[in-house]
Amino acid sequence: MKKVFVVLGVLILLSAGNVWASGLAIPEQGAAAMAMSAAMTARSEDLSSIFYNPAGIDYVEGLELFAGITPIMPGHKYSPLREDSKIFSKKEAESNTFLPPQLYAAFRAHRKIVLGLGVYAPFGLGTEWDKEWAGRYTSTLAEIQTVYINPTIAINVNEKVSLGLGASYITSNATIEKMVDTGGSLAAKGFPASMMANTDYDSHFALDGDGSAFAINAGVLIKPVERVQLGVSYRWAYDIEYEGKAKFTHKNALKALPAGVGITAYDVVSAQMPASQDGKATLHMPWMLNLGVLYELTEVWDASFDVDFVGWERYDELTIDFDDDKPLDKQTQDKDWKNSFILRAGTSYDFNESFVGRGGVMFDKNPVPDETMDGQLPDSNRFGFSLGAGYKLGKIQLDASYLILFFSDREKENGVGFGSDVTGDGVINRFDVLPGYPVGNGNYESRAHLISVSASYKF
């Protein structure tokens, strides 16, 4: 029965996978930045520096406002393993579009001080599969929305050095849904084995959770010589606690199955999986270190290069605490994520005083090991290619860009079949793969298309 509540961990897995590295992160926090694959640590391109490197807003002369939106269109395809090909069919996740906004403002409060404020969503996507697909016991729906409110200060030390500091209040909401093998649970209690993984008896699980936290980020820009600018930014690790309401809906077919004098199978599973229950989980978020260099090739052409390091080793396990202790008090899941890195390169070319063209490439190393990879939000190494343009019209700057992300195909073969010690080691765990059990073991292909538009105004 412990397996039934593994799904609660998906709330945190989804959040973690979307933050900084892999798992469909949203580091594209402005159209100009996205056009250069977010190689922004050493740049002072626009107010998106509040996100990338707070020292970068030192260029602001008066008051500046920025607004943007980035429609994101991810796609996921699933195909079963060879031994499951006669049981399950290929599936494609529902096509959903996500619309994370970006709002920034900054003004020069002193000849050496610029104050800024950013409101943005650096992660928050999801997946939606039908209720009978091969991975229905891992996920049918997952959505997350996260907003950072980030006041920032930039200080001009001298002509060569600028410092930046920011503090973020983070608020997040996540919703997940999946099917539960109620028939398998009853089969373990003596009901017919044919009830296992039977959609006629599957229960529906839904969890809606809210969390909040505070985070600090800092950065520095250094211009050691003409045409070269160096950037360093760091975001401290932090913890975010989610509190949620878990709900189970059981099928009426269970009411026709007697389980004793005056009780039915519906009564049994309702007692074990109550209609509503509160729960808590704390996620240990990683630190992130970004290093960047900007080089002016000519007066109108430049190039920037970034390397980002992400401390995902903090996410070694996840503990879920259930308020009603049903069917257990706490559950701990091993995660064993690894530290990862991201490589980025971007360039911009000024065709004239009004028009600029941009391009970029990136590689993002996936932090999730094969042993704990989950089909709920398929995660793998990704490559990105971007391009865009900007047009200046008086005090108004307009930008647009496009980014395509190619995810390496990945195979999942770590799901457990209910109550089946397939490996024969005496322990039922994620390595006990039972062919034909609906936990999404198979091959995953993912792509994502992003379009970004933004406008800024200098008063």
Structure tokens at 131: 């209720």
**Lowest mean pLDDT segment, chosen from 49-58, 102-111, 336-345, 415-424:** 415-424
Please say if the pLDDT value at position 84 is more than 90.
Answer: no
Element spanning 369, H or E: none
Q: How far is CA 298 from CA 59, 214, 348, in A?
A: 20, 41, 11
Please say if the pLDDT value at position 129 is more than 90.
Answer: no
Burial of 382 by CB count in 10 Å (0-12 exposed, 13-18 middle, 19+ buried)?
Answer: buried
Label residue 75 by pLDDT band (50, 70, 90). confident
Who wins on pLDDT, 48 or 25?
48
Who wins on pLDDT, 259 or 418?
259
pLDDT reported for residue 348: 98
Please give the Cα distance from 415 to 230 (Å, whole number): 45
pLDDT reported for residue 12: 33
290-319 as b/e: b if 16+ CB within 10 A: bbbbbeeeeeeebbbbbebbbbbbbbeebe
Please give the Cα distance from 29 to 52 (Å, whole number): 8
pLDDT reported for residue 173: 83
Who wins on pLDDT, 312 or 86?
312
**Each residue of 145-160: pLDDT tens digit?**
788 999 999 999 999 9
Label residue 417 by pLDDT band (50, 70, 90). low
Who wins on pLDDT, 35 or 338?
35
Beta strands in 324-413 (DSSP E): 330-334, 340-350, 355-364, 382-393, 396-407, 410-412
Label residue 364 by pLDDT band (50, 70, 90). very high
Please say if the pLDDT value at position 371 is more than 90.
Answer: no
Domains, the chain, in order of start with CATH, read 2-458 (2.40.160.60)
Label residue 4 by pLDDT band (50, 70, 90). very low
The residues facing 387 across adjacent strands are 359, 402
**Lowest mean pLDDT segment, chosen from 55-64, 217-226, 238-247, 342-351:** 238-247
Please say if the pLDDT value at position 18 is more than 60.
Answer: no
C-alpha distance across the termini of the chain, in Å? 62
Please give the share of the chain, as a percent, with pLDDT higher than 70.
86
pLDDT reported for residue 344: 97
Please say if the pLDDT value at position 68 is more than 90.
Answer: yes
